[in-house]
Amino acid sequence: MQILGIDVGGSGIKGAPVDTETGQLVAERVRIKTPKNAEPEPMAQIVKQIAGFFNWNGPIGIGFPAPIKGGVAMMAANVSPKWIGLNADDLFTQVTGCDCTMINDADAAGLAEIKFGAGRGQPGTVIMVTLGTGIGSAIFYQGILLPNTEFGHAQLNGMDAEQYASDAARQREDLSWKKYAKRLDLYLKMMERLFWPNLFIVGGGISKESEKYLPLLTLDTPIVPAQLRNQAGIIGAALAARKDK
């Protein structure tokens, strides 16, 4: 079954049709810069533009940077506060004319990695952490998702963890990989003490440079880069839109 997967981020909105049986993108992904202020209507128009690029009229899965309950965005850390309390599912469905299904973006990436990537067949508790504009988290036990965790907003050194240890923080403060690894280590050790996971998976664009910082971490828990890299959010969003799942 093919479903259009959309990954909404603080800096870009990416999409491609996905074969949900194999986890493969069936066309090259399209990326459009997230509009200034990241408000609902302009972002919905970009999703419509991506759907139009593929001449798409089937189901669409959308990974979005907020907890999603019944299609409603419950908070807005890296997008406009106008999303809070808005039924994003209805908005995207109305604008695109397609049946849209919403899911938290980190949960989407985690679903993809659990089914097709680094988390496939892993026992016990697996934690996916996405490092980008913020920090996303997805927690699985025996392959089952606990949705809408927001551990990027856990307090660390008196601030939200994502203000301290996201990839955006690394770039903003021009941190060396060694200094950044110390911050990420502190964050992941906190998660380790809270959940005692069997595996950490690191995703987001920074995962493609994992050899520069993962070996510097001092965790007891095994940690690996996401295998699906920047495609995980697109693939997982498509999986979330499957009605037979």
Give the pair of three-digit tokens for residue 84. Answer: 């809070």
Read off φ and ψ for residue 141, nearest 5 degrees. Answer: -125, 120
Burial, 243: exposed, middle or buried (Cβ in 10 Å; 0-12, 13-18, 19+)? exposed
How would you write the chain as a 3-class SS string? Answer: CEEEEEEECCCEEEEEEEECCCCEECCCCEEEECCHHHCHHHHHHHHHHHHHHCCCCCCEEEEECCCEECCEECCCCCCCHHHCCCEHHHHHHHHHCCCEEEEEHHHHHHHHHHHHCCCCCCCCEEEEEEECCCEEEEEEECCEEECCCCHHHCEECCEEHHHHHCHHHHHHCCCCHHHHHHHHHHHHHHHHHHHCCCEEEEECHHHHHHHHCHHHCCCCCCEEECCCHHHHHHHHHHHHCCCCC
- Tally of CB atoms within 10 A around 10: 17
Tens digits of pLDDT across the chain (245 residues) = 999 999 998 889 999 999 999 999 999 999 999 999 999 999 999 999 999 999 999 999 999 999 999 999 999 877 999 999 999 999 999 999 999 999 999 999 999 999 999 999 998 999 999 998 889 999 999 999 999 999 999 999 999 999 999 999 999 999 999 999 999 999 999 999 999 999 999 998 899 999 999 999 999 999 999 999 889 999 999 999 998 75
What is the pTM for the complete model shown?
A: 0.92
Instruction: Give the residue from 143, 146, 130, 153 showing the smallest Cα distance to 64.
Output: 130
The tokens for 27 are 């066309």
**The tokens of 31 are what?**
């990326």
Q: Which two tokens stand for residue 201?
A: 């998976």
**Contact predicate 180/206, CB 8 Å:** no
In this structure, the number of other CB atoms found within 10 A of the CB of residue 132 comes to 26
Supply the pLDDT for residue 245.
58
Q: How many residues does the chain have?
A: 245
Delineate the domains of the chain, giving CATH numbers in brackets.
Answer: 2-107+232-240 (3.30.420.40), 120-227 (3.30.420.40)
